[in-house]
Amino acid sequence: MISSPRVRQHIEQQVDVLHSSKLSSTHSPCSSMKVSCLCLSFLLAVCGLHWTPTTANKIFHFGSCEILMNVNEIRTGFTAIKANIQARDTVRTTSILSFPYSLHRVNSEDTCCIIHHLLKFYVDMVFKHCETEDSWVNRKISSIANSFLSIKKNFRHCHQQSLCRCGEEATQKYKQILTNYSQLNVKNAAMKSLGELDILLDWMEKAY
């Protein structure tokens, strides 16, 4: 439903022009063509008011798998809450993702396997345990979680077509992540994993 006064005014003006053109159609042999052009211009104008560019979407290559996603959107959402989330991380003696742990020196053919596991890891084990007392932060976390869920669904085709084969090294690296996670209680582990999300995003863009 179009509610903006400017939009309604624009449409009404276009309708008046179309009406005038139709009234004069009997006096000009080219009037029908003009009306058609005006109709096309009118539709393009209305569509343009509601069009949103998607240039931030990129095709990422993880091994043999190609995935369309918007990492910048996720990074923007995470940056807004990064300081808040990292301030809640009171355990400084261990890491879930950072060097020298699992995301260091992943072979290109293993990237699809690793990212497929990590998307499932964040969706199933991290986001659901990151609720805070701040509703604004929770909304940001929920938005990031929805983006991860959408990307995870896009990986189904690759997984079903056996494009994300997991070698021994990839399996060991993911096991190390789970080991790091299990060293902390669920709440602390989830917050630390969320606080390290920029490590994952950086790695994804390098892998791409």
Cα–Cα separations (whole angstroms), residue 193 to 55, 117, 155 = 29, 14, 21
pLDDT at 13: 54
Q: List the one residue out of 13, 34, 37 whose CA is nearest residue 25.
A: 34
d(CA 202, CA 207): 9
pLDDT in tens, 11-53: 455 445 444 444 444 444 444 444 444 444 444 344 343 333 3
Number of continuous H segments (helices) and E segments (strands) in the chain = 8, 2
- Are the C-beta atoms of residues 119 and 148 closer than 8 Å to each other? yes
User: What's the CA angle centered on 177, arms 183 and 116, to 5 degrees?
Assistant: 145
The H or E element that residue 8 is part of is: helix 5-23
φ, ψ of residue 24 in degrees (nearest 5):
-95, 5
* Residue whose pair of structure tokens reads 């006064």 in the numeric block: 5
Kindly report the length of the chain.
Answer: 208
Cα–Cα separations (whole angstroms), residue 124 to 45, 53, 55, 118, 135 = 44, 31, 29, 10, 21
Residues of the chain with pLDDT under 70: 1-55, 99-102, 207-208
